[in-house]
Structure 1
Amino acid sequence: MDNCTPVQASWHVLWTHSNYERSVYEQLSAKGYELFFAKIDQWIASNKGKHLVRVPMFRSYLFIRHAIGKHDYIDINKTKGLVRILGDRWDQLASIPDHEIDSIRAVCASDCPVRAYPFLKHGDRVRMVRGSLKNTEGILLRNDDHTGLLVISVALLNRSVSVEVNCTDVVPL
């Protein structure tokens, strides 16, 4: 891609220094960039008791929708508190599909309670954290909306068993 090739506007990820999400958001918004700063409510305990605060859904990350050419790439990267735009180079930036951003926006706009959850994928080594299988370790083979298939193996015997589990009870190792 050269400097004259038009770039399609898409969603990109901005990686910020710790606790700089708001500052980067404000600086780039002032320049006219379209940004999305996903925030959720979280209960925080203090010496005055518990209170609800808005915190970043994805700490140290913001989303920007823009057709980022070389000039914009340089301009965005000058932002105080920004580590970098995710991607290999200015002309090979990682992008996020619109439907994923739409889903995150829907969650942020809903009244549903939201909390961070470990990213799990097929084949990950996991440990159960609740229920009758608490502290059991295995490999997650299927991850549906609510249930997963946990495979527990005995290497010496070359044998495995599987059990269906609640995915909210599983954490990565």
Structure 2
Amino acid sequence: MAGLRCLRTTPRNRVDGGTVRARFGPAKRRTRTEGGEALAVAGVEILGAGAGTAVLSAGPGAITPRAPWHVVWTHSHCEQLVCDQLTARGFHPFLPSMGTWSTRAGRRRLISVPMFPGYAFLNDALDKAAHVEVRRARGIAGVLGEGWDRPAQVPEEEIEAIRRVVDSRLPTLPHPYLTEGRRVRIAAGPLAGLEGILVNVRPARGLLVLSVNLLQRSVVVEVDWTQVMPI
């Protein structure tokens, strides 16, 4: 990822074989941009349409729908580096990213940051040989799971929801992990059929929270609440 250094950190929760146990705490409420500027993650105004709207971009790598989805854990700022190497080795990583505004040297510009910092998804069946090959990528800390023969999996519907948000290019921000609330389904628009938790309803707009439960991380996308229905 341009402008970011790949910093080697000491991995936590490591087990034999370089696999990481899938137990992580909730995401922090603030995120840091490239220029050191912290942005609040739950403000509706940040998500408003106009010149200040942040958009999403899809990461590299094709998606293989029928293969299981796994998660690789990377060192700090190494998500793109890891995905590039895995793609070159014939794997199918998916690195969802989103735009955020950063201020550096008095100039404000839109930069792309990972939607789930420190993680990338992998759409491949992993036997022992494949697991070893994945672990050889520079910048990788491990594969979430209980061992090379029991890698954790992310449900297809959670990946599909994230992919739909990326493809929609709607304004999106990180959000504290959320599992309970008013569950709704989008009835119309680019996210039609998508399900999530509706929060911060205003006269015409609301925030739809989507989560990856394995990571205990959530993102929020602004939607027209008149296009949602309770489930």
Same fold (TM over 0.5): yes
1: distance between equivalents of 2:145 and 2:89?
22
- Structure 1 residues not aligned, in runs of 5+: 1-7, 123-141, 149-165, 169-173
Are 1:37 and 2:95 an aligned pair?
yes
Q: Deviations over 1:8-58 (max 9, x none)?
A: 830000000000001101111000101101110101111142110111000
1:146 maps to a residue whose letter is L
TM-score, normalising length from structure 1? 0.67
2: distance between equivalents of 1:112 and 1:30?
30
2: distance between equivalents of 1:114 and 1:80?
29
CA RMSD of aligned residues (A): 2.0
1: distance between equivalents of 2:199 and 2:175?
15
Deviation at 1:143, TM superposition (A): 4.4
The match for 1:108 among 166, 178, 181 is: 166
2: distance between equivalents of 1:37 and 1:49?
27
Alpha carbons of structure 1 residues 47 and 121: separation in structure 2 relative to 1, 3 Å? same
Residue equivalent to 2:219: none
1:111 maps to a residue whose letter is R
The match for 2:155 among 97, 104, 111 is: 97
Residue equivalent to 2:142: 84
- Structure 2 residues not aligned, in runs of 5+: 1-65, 184-196, 201-205, 209-231
CA contact (8 A) 1:121 1:143 kept: no
Deviation at 1:167, TM superposition (A): 8.0
Residue equivalent to 1:64: 122
Larger relative CO (CA 8 A, sep 6+): 1 or 2? 2
Deviation at 1:78, TM superposition (A): 1.3
TM-score, normalising length from structure 2? 0.51
1: distance between equivalents of 2:179 and 2:157?
19
**Structure ranking higher in strand proportion:** 1
2:153 maps to a residue whose letter is S
1: distance between equivalents of 2:169 and 2:80?
23
Deviation at 1:146, TM superposition (A): 2.5
Partner of 2:173: helix, strand, or coil? Answer: coil
1:118-133 matches, within 5 Å, as: 118-122=176-180
Percentage of identical aligned residues: 33
Alpha carbons of structure 1 residues 167 and 65: separation in structure 2 relative to 1, 3 Å? closer
1: distance between equivalents of 2:94 and 2:88?
14
1: distance between equivalents of 2:106 and 2:137?
36
Deviation at 1:94, TM superposition (A): 0.4
Alpha carbons of structure 1 residues 167 and 26: separation in structure 2 relative to 1, 3 Å? closer
2:198 maps to a residue whose letter is H
1: distance between equivalents of 2:84 and 2:134?
12
1: distance between equivalents of 2:124 and 2:94?
12
Are 1:51 and 2:103 an aligned pair?
no
